[in-house]
Homo-oligomer: A and B are copies of this chain.
Amino acid sequence: MEETDRSIVAALSADGRMSYTDLAEKVGLSVSAVHQRVRRLEQRGVITGYAAKVNFEEIGLPLTALVAIRPFDPAQPDDAPEKLAHLPQIDSCYSVAGEDFYLLLVRVASPSDLEKLLQEIRTSANVTTRTTVVLSTPYEQRPPSVS
C-alpha cells in the first residue's frame, strides 16, 4: 500500500468520523480525490467498516474475559467459530497456535452471566474452556501503526 492511502487509513483509524474536508487537508489532496481513495479502500476491503468505540462498563458489560477453548473430542470436525457466532457476548474469536484451539474475547454483565455463557459455549461447540478474567483494561483497540 502507498503512502497517501496509509495516512488516510491512519487518520480514519484514529477518528472514524473525520470529514473528507479535514482528511483532505491532513493528507494534502482535494476533497474529491480523498473521497475517491476512501471509496477504493472500502471496496478493496482495506477499510471494512466504521464503529463507535464504547465504554463497556457504561453500557452494562463491565466484565471482560478471555476464554481458551479446546474440542472435547479432537477427532470431531472443528467448526467452533461458526457454532459460537450466534452468541453476541463474543466480541472476537482467534484461532491460535499452541495448546488451545481458539481464544475468545467475551463481554458480559456479571459473573453469573459469564457462568451461563461458558455453559452455552461448551454445549454449543462441544469444547472445554479455560477462562481468564480481565481485571482492568489499561488500553484497548489503539489505532494501528500504519507507517
Residues of chain A whose beta carbon lies under 8 Å from any beta carbon of chain B = 1, 6, 9, 12-17, 44-56, 58-61, 64, 66, 81-82, 85, 88-98, 100, 102-103, 107, 132-147
Known: A16-B17, A54-B9, A103-B132. A66 touches B94 (CB 8 A): yes
Prevailing SS type, chain A contact patch: mixed
Nearest chain B CB to A7's CB is how many angstroms away?
A: 12
Contacts of A53 in B (CB 8 A): 47-51
Contact B50 A54 (CB under 8 A): no
Oligomer copy total:
2
Q: What separation, in Å, do the CA atoms of A132 and B68 have in the docked complex?
A: 11
Query: Could you say which of B49, B98, B138, B145 contacts A95, with CB atoms under 8 Å apart?
Result: B138
**Can you sample 27 A-B contacts with CB below 8 Å?**
A1-B58, A9-B52, A9-B54, A9-B59, A13-B52, A15-B50, A16-B49, A16-B51, A45-B58, A46-B54, A47-B55, A50-B53, A51-B51, A59-B144, A59-B146, A88-B142, A88-B145, A91-B140, A91-B144, A92-B141, A93-B139, A94-B137, A94-B140, A97-B135, A100-B132, A102-B138, A141-B141
- In the complex, the 5 A-B pairs of residues with the closest C-beta atoms, listed nearest first: A88-B145, A81-B138, A16-B50, A12-B52, A17-B50
